[in-house]
């Protein structure tokens, strides 16, 4: 009797496994149709299975649910959007959820990007439109929550490549980018900030100007020194990139009219640093802002080859400018 019962149980288990295999392995009758299936944060696996069943993505929801209980994924499902298509079998869908194969955004912020460029990248991916992005980046609530003592998040969104799950809102993404910046602060950098008697905003503002002025890494500390030397002497910084901040793109030509334009950021018309950064500085510029070179220079002019000529006096600078203009005339 016991032997017969065992055989019956084995047979029933075999039939169930065969049934489960058919249910899980047979492709769904969708053709080549594809969908993005969303698993929202906080939902249970049972809710996910019910949703899949209603959309016709599983044949037997109880088999699917049981597979989740056996493998333990019912306790660790990943929220996000899953790309599914009709030729997949329920088992392939199950594995996609088990492995957390969600759709992700990729955004690359390069050193020197301003909020304008970053806003365009967010808008291109459909995360948030440019107007909404700027509103968020200047929101007092956003600034206070992230301890940003500046007019906006300009300069606080660290240059890097970020991957975010589709569905994550911009207000959740921006703090992650700010935290990435602050992850690089070490004890030596904090000590240098204290030694220079500058705030995080001042440091990032200086670093952003260096980022827009310097081409080569070896000149960054020298350019930093020029601006610190001018600050100590109560001279205007006269940094060209500040004259066009918020007015035109950084790749556009800077004119005499730009230098004369009165804005809160134009260091030809204001003394000291601007109210905040003018772009997102990279790590080399941040390091340079904290470690300026020990040089007496007060001026520099482009050599039109990515390098600059540095001068300590106005007469030296005037001669360097003349050399630069003569080169430009020779080139037509």
**Any alpha helices (H) in the chain, and if so which ranges?**
2-25, 45-54, 61-71, 90-98, 115-124, 130-137, 140-145, 170-183, 187-196, 200-213, 220-232, 240-243, 256-260, 283-290, 314-330
pLDDT, position 201: 96
Kindly list the distances between the CA atom of residue 298 and the CA atoms of 171, 235, 236, 251, 310, in Å, as whole numbers in the listed order.
41, 9, 11, 25, 8
* Model pTM score: 0.83
Domains of the chain, by residue range, sit at 22-98, 104-183, 187-295
Task: Write out pLDDT tens, residues 144-179.
Answer: 999 999 999 999 999 999 999 998 999 999 999 999
Res. 84: pLDDT tops 50: yes
pLDDT, position 10: 46
Length of the chain counted residue by residue: 332
In the DSSP assignment, the letter for residue 312 is S
Res. 80: pLDDT tops 60: yes
In the chain, the N- to C-terminal Cα span, in Å, equals: 105
pLDDT, position 329: 79
Task: Write out pLDDT tens, residues 120-131.
Answer: 999 999 999 999
Residue 178, both tokens: 């700010």
Task: Write out pLDDT tens, residues 171-206.
Answer: 999 999 999 999 999 888 889 999 999 999 999 999
Contacts of 318 (CB under 8 A, 6+ apart): none
**CA-to-CA distance for 71 and 57, rounded, in angstroms?**
19
Residue 196, both tokens: 């220079």
Mean pLDDT value across residues 99-110:
92
Residue 74, both tokens: 């019912």
**Band of pLDDT at residue 3, cut at 50, 70 and 90:** low
Question: Which of 12-26, 297-311, 312-326 is the least confident region?
Answer: 12-26
DSSP-derived 3-state class of residue 55: coil
Res. 19: pLDDT tops 70: no
Res. 16: pLDDT tops 50: no
Residue 126, both tokens: 């459909």
Query: Of all helices (H) and strands (E), which one includes residue 105?
Result: strand 104-108
Greatest alpha-carbon span in the chain: 111
Task: Write out pLDDT tens, residues 203-228.
Answer: 999 999 999 999 999 999 999 999 99
Using a 10 angstrom Cβ sphere, with 0-12 exposed, 13-18 middle and 19 or more buried, the burial of residue 143 is: middle
Mean pLDDT of the chain: 87
**Band of pLDDT at residue 2, cut at 50, 70 and 90:** low
**Band of pLDDT at residue 237, cut at 50, 70 and 90:** very high
Res. 332: pLDDT tops 90: no
**Band of pLDDT at residue 248, cut at 50, 70 and 90:** confident
Q: Which CATH superfamily is domain 22-98 in?
A: Endolytic murein transglycosylase (3.30.1490.480)
Q: At what angle do helices 115-124 and 130-137 cross, to 10 degrees?
A: 130
pLDDT, position 23: 54
Does residue 234 or residue 20 have the better pLDDT?
A: 234
**CA-to-CA distance for 236 and 315, rounded, in angstroms?**
18
Report the 10 Å Cβ neighbour count for 92: 16
Res. 136: pLDDT tops 90: yes
pLDDT, position 246: 87
Q: What sign for the dihedral angle of Cα 226, 227, 232, 234?
A: positive
Cross-strand bridge partners of residue 165: 104
**CA-to-CA distance for 327 and 332, rounded, in angstroms?**
9
pLDDT, position 65: 80
Report the 10 Å Cβ neighbour count for 91: 18
């Amino acid at each position: 009797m016991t032997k017969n019962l065992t055989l019956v149980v084995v047979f029933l288990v075999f039939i169930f496994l065969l049934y489960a295999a058919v249910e899980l392995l047979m492709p769904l009758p969708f053709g080549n149709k594809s969908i993005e299936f969303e698993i929202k944060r906080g939902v249970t696996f049972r809710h996910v299975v019910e949703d899949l069943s209603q959309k016709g993505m599983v044949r037997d929801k109880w088999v699917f649910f049981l597979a989740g209980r056996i493998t333990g994924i019912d306790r660790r499902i990943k929220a996000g959007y899953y790309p599914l298509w009709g030729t997949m079998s329920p088992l392939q869908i199950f594995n996609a959820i088990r492995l957390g194969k969600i759709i992700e955004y990729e955004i690359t912020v390069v050193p020197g990007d301003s909020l304008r460029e970053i806003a365009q990248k967010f808008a291109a991916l459909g995360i948030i439109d440019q107007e909404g992005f700027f509103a968020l980046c200047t929101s007092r609530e956003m600034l206070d929550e992230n301890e940003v003592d500046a007019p906006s998040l300009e300069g606080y969104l660290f240059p890097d490549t970020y991957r975010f799950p589709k569905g994550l809102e911009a207000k959740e993404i921006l703090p992650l980018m700010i935290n990435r910046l602050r992850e690089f602060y070490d004890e030596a950098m904090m000590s240098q900030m204290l030694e220079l008697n500058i705030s995080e905003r001042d440091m990032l503002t200086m670093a952003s100007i260096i980022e827009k002025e310097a081409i080569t890494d070896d000149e960054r500390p020298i350019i930093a020194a020029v601006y610190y030397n001018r600050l100590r002497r109560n001279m205007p910084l006269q940094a060209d990139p500040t004259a066009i901040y918020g007015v035109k793109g950084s790749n556009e030509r800077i004119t005499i009219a730009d230098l004369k334009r009165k804005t809160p950021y134009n260091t030809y018309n204001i003394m000291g640093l601007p109210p905040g950064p003018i772009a997102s500085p990279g790590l080399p510029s941040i390091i340079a802002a904290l470690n300026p070179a020990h040089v007496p220079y007060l001026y520099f002019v482009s050599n039109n080859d990515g390098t600059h000529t540095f001068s300590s006096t106005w007469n030296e600078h005037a001669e360097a400018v003349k050399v630069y203009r003569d080169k430009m005339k020779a080139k037509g």
